[in-house]
Amino acid sequence: MTSRDRTYGESALLTPANAMTAFRLLVTPLFIYFIIVRRVSWWTSAIGLLAAVSDYFDGKVARRQGTTTSGAFLDPLADKVLVLGGLYALILARPHGVTSFIVPAIIITLREVWMSVHRSRAAQHGISIPAVRIAKWKTFVQDWAIGLCVLPITGHHLILGEVVIWVAVVMTIYTGWRYYVDGRELLSRAR
């Protein structure tokens, strides 16, 4: 996309894509509340679906109208808040068996903290580590793992959510490793 094709410049803040990301950030506390209070319900599922769908569409809109620096920060932040909030809400809800989500939640949390530190260090050297394509799929699988635990059709069979969350953990570790390798390569080229 050339600068002429962009609807919004890189420094724009008030964009439709950012509005959808802000919606996701605002609806996440409601999703967390419903997981803790009701866990398996159509309302919980609908709110989670709204948040997940907003992630899909904000990406499409951003690619069409031009990505922004603020969007590059806010979109992954909203993903992290939704996924980690959902995982910890499932643990707090204490349904039988969901305590098996503790280890995946810790692994995903540690990876996200580490990635924030890694990207911050790279940014100090003027390097922006681009997102790897599989990262969006990782978020999609994480969302599905949580969704399977709250959807009335599958929510009472936690083994489905457990299997999918471990697939997400593998993807989370892999994408963290890719970011590390890519960042190290970019840093060595910059020196």
Q: Is residue 39 part of a domain?
A: yes
pLDDT score for 50: 93
Looking at the 3D structure of the chain, how many domains does it have? Answer: 1
Domain assignment present for residue 64? The answer is yes
Residue 82 contacts residue 56 (beta carbons within 8 Å): no
pLDDT at 56 over 90: no
**pLDDT tens digits for range 97-141:** 567 889 999 999 999 999 888 878 877 877 777 777 888 899 899
Q: What's the mean pLDDT when you consider all of the chain?
A: 84
Task: Compute the average pLDDT of residues 70-97.
Answer: 84
Rounded to whole angstroms, how far apart are CA atoms 17 and 8?
A: 10
CATH code: domain of residue 85: 1.20.120.1760
The reply to whether 1 falls in a domain is no
Q: Cβ of 134: how many Cβ atoms within 10 Å?
A: 13
Lowest-confidence pick of 48-57, 127-136, 145-154, 172-181: 127-136
* Residue 81 in domain: yes
> Averaged over 6-25, what is the pLDDT?
75
Q: Most distant CA pair in the chain: distance in Å?
A: 55
CA 37: distance to chain centroid?
Answer: 23
79 falls within a domain: yes
In a domain, 63, yes or no: yes
Q: Which domain holds residue 94?
A: 16-190
- Crossing angle for the helix pair 69-93 and 102-124, nearest 10 degrees? 160
Residue 8 lies in a domain: no
Three-state secondary structure string covering the chain: CCCCCCCCCCCCCCCHHHHHHHHHHHHHHHHHHHHHHCCCCHHHHHHHHHHHHHHHHHHHHHHHHCCCHHHHHHHHHHHHHHHHHHHHHHHHHCCCCHHHHHHHHHHHHHHHHHHHHHHHHHHHCCCCCCCCCHHHHHHHHHHHHHHHHHCCCCCCCHHHHHHHHHHHHHHHHHHHHHHHHHHHHHHHHHC
- pLDDT 10s digits, 170-191: 999 999 999 888 888 877 777 6
pLDDT at 89: 94
